[in-house]
A = this chain, B = another copy of it.
């Protein structure tokens, strides 16, 4: 799996905001654009980068393009972060005890 496109996609604040918006509902390019102070063309470029990073999926519906969040696309990031888990004993044990408490 190529991680670069995903890290690259997350590096821009506008794109991260778009992802947060798409949590609530799928949106057309025009709808996404309504939330920003920039042209539709600029937003389209951001959506392309997000798509390249596997963070969203796009499907055509008539003349519209429905953009949907693809949370699975964040796996490369999560996986890469696990490379540093050895330094996170504290956090991991906290999570573990939290889950254990939950399963009682």
Copy total for this chain: 2
In the bound complex, what is the Cα–Cα distance between A33 and B48 (angstroms)? Answer: 34
Chain A positions within 8 Å of B, measured between CB atoms, are 3-4, 7-8, 10-11, 13, 16, 19-20, 23, 69, 71, 74, 77-78, 80-81, 83-84, 86-88, 95-96, 99-100, 102-103
Do residues B13 and A83 form an inter-chain contact, with CB atoms below 8 A? no
Q: Which of B8, B13, B86, B96 contacts A99 (CB 8 A)?
A: B96
| Chain A binding surface SS class | helix
Give the distance to chain B from A11, nearest Cβ to Cβ, in Å.
4
Do residues B23 and A84 form an inter-chain contact, with CB atoms below 8 A? yes
In the bound complex, what is the Cα–Cα distance between A87 and B71 (angstroms)? Answer: 6
